[in-house]
Structure 1
Amino acid sequence: MNVSDKYRSNWESFWGETPDGHGEAIWDSDPSLGAAPHSELLLPYADPERTIVDLGCGNGTQTRFLATRFARAVGVDLSHAAVEHARRASKGDAVEFEQLDLTDTHAVHALHERLGDANVYMRAVIHQSEPHARPAVAAAVAGIIGSEGRAFVVELTSASRDVLQNAASAPGGPGPKLQRVFHHGLKPADAADGEIPRLLSEAGLTVLADGATTLPQTEYLADGTRIELPARWFVLAGA
């Protein structure tokens, strides 16, 4: 089942109203806090000569870093506006970006046909997807990596809801970047903790390694503390 028109519209409006420039989205952290340490966790299991596909690439910040660790990087996102952000920011980098609905099984299959078994990087996509779409998102990971690729998936845990609630209820209310998340109807940390590993398993994915981490954000509390959201990471293999 594909994503709803409302969900698609929420993401188009979010990215359409997000200015160009690094860090304008609350999750658009520097790769030194994201794709760099995540790559170090993935590379012991993954062939760097394979393409890596960044699922839910947004404006492509992490994708561009991944291109320095793997032979080729492709970023895909549901939102056309996000893809246009990514293309504008690339400035000749050896990456490519395209619009892709991860719940569109035919489109995911076509991507796999074009790239072969690829590696996958997916940062915080399942947790905010619509409940009915989450199995298809997990299945897309399996479909893209096939039998030879490997995936790094990191998702927010339920503890992130408390962090976000505390940030939203601080004196003066949430910061402007968090306000925009709520304004556009996005729902971070919406999945239960046990749901993510269950969906990955049901998609035929095998956990090779996993652990706890945080996803540092680009917004800070009034006392200067960076917002960091509790998360869990998985390195995965296919059937």
Structure 2
Amino acid sequence: MDVSRRYRAAWEDFWRDTADTPGEAMWDSDPSLGSGPHSELLLPYADSALPVVDLGCGSGTQTRYLATRFARAIGVDLSHAAVEHARRADPEKTAEFEQLDLVDADAVRAFGERTGDTNVYMRAVIHQSEPRDRPAVAAAVAALLGERGRAFVVELTPASKAVLQEAAEGPGGPPAKLLRVFEYGLKPAGAQDEEVPDLLRAAGLRILAEGRTTLPMTEYLPDGTRIDLPARWFVLARE
């Protein structure tokens, strides 16, 4: 089994074994700490009458919030198990969910033909992707935007590694949710700082706005401090 197939299998295993309890995944933060403030950064540049696609939607927490800000919200994830999680968490069908491999250019193209120009929300996907797959992930963002869509992309910076290392090396070892990330072979904070904007530009994307932020986790240090990971955000359009 090649590296990419192993990594896809790791994500399937992670989501299959994750309970439906909100916040069970370390990054499954409340939208008030994620897509809420991120929407405020995106909406001045975006047409909310267009759909929004949440790339790497996981359990769909952020997608369901985005459905309150845009005409239509679609969450997609590499993992079939994640999509099933998201559907179970949304019995009122506030949003739509489907499986999509962002590295599969043909599948992305077919998805885009069905949706037309869309806005894109992508939270911490590039840094979790295999290095060889990252250009394809950035290209998927560009492909889905079309001419009218705008994107909000936020990714962990290398400074997150130090925060995670400190958490992992605490007296009691890694907190439970962080330990699960390691146990399933997932790779947080894998991208270098300038790698992300370089990938986005190489994909034909223009940076309209950018800034520094943190991505709050649902895990805490033994002293009760929430783990907040340094990140960088971008609002983007097609060149």
* TM tier, smaller: over 0.9
Deviations 1:94-135 (A, max 9, x none): 211000000000110011101111000000000110000000
Matches within 5 A, 1:162-177: 162-177=162-177
Identity %: 71
- 1:3 Cα deviation from its structure 2 partner: 7.3
Contiguous gaps of at least 5 residues in structure 1: none
Q: Report SS of the residue matched to 2:192.
A: coil
> C-alpha separation between the residues in 1 aligned to 2:86 and 2:68?
16
My pick for the range that moved more, 2-11 or 146-155, is: 2-11
Name 1:45's counterpart in structure 2: 45
The answer to whether the 8 A contact 2:8-2:78 is kept is yes
- 1:21 Cα deviation from its structure 2 partner: 1.5
The answer to whether the 8 A contact 1:147-1:238 is kept is yes
> C-alpha separation between the residues in 2 aligned to 1:3 and 1:162?
25
Count of matched residue positions in the alignment of Structure 1 and Structure 2: 238
Deviations 1:69-117 (A, max 9, x none): 0000000000000000000000113211000000000110011101111
- 1:4 Cα deviation from its structure 2 partner: 1.4
TM-score under structure 1 length normalisation: 0.98
> C-alpha separation between the residues in 2 aligned to 1:37 and 1:57?
17
> C-alpha separation between the residues in 1 aligned to 2:3 and 2:25?
22
> C-alpha separation between the residues in 2 aligned to 1:100 and 1:177?
25
Q: CA RMSD in A?
A: 1.0
Name 1:153's counterpart in structure 2: 153
Matched, 1:226 2:226: yes
The answer to whether the 8 A contact 1:3-1:103 is kept is no
My pick for the range that moved more, 85-94 or 181-190, is: 85-94
The answer to whether the 8 A contact 1:51-1:74 is kept is yes
Name 2:83's counterpart in structure 1: 83
> C-alpha separation between the residues in 1 aligned to 2:155 and 2:37?
15
Whichever residue aligns with residue 139 of structure 1, its letter is A
Whichever residue aligns with residue 67 of structure 2, its letter is A
> C-alpha separation between the residues in 2 aligned to 1:20 and 1:35?
20
Q: Report SS of the residue matched to 1:147.
A: coil
> C-alpha separation between the residues in 2 aligned to 1:10 and 1:238?
32
> C-alpha separation between the residues in 2 aligned to 1:60 and 1:81?
12
Name 1:186's counterpart in structure 2: 186
Whichever residue aligns with residue 212 of structure 1, its letter is R
Name 1:109's counterpart in structure 2: 109
> C-alpha separation between the residues in 1 aligned to 2:140 and 2:201?
13
Matched, 1:125 2:146: no
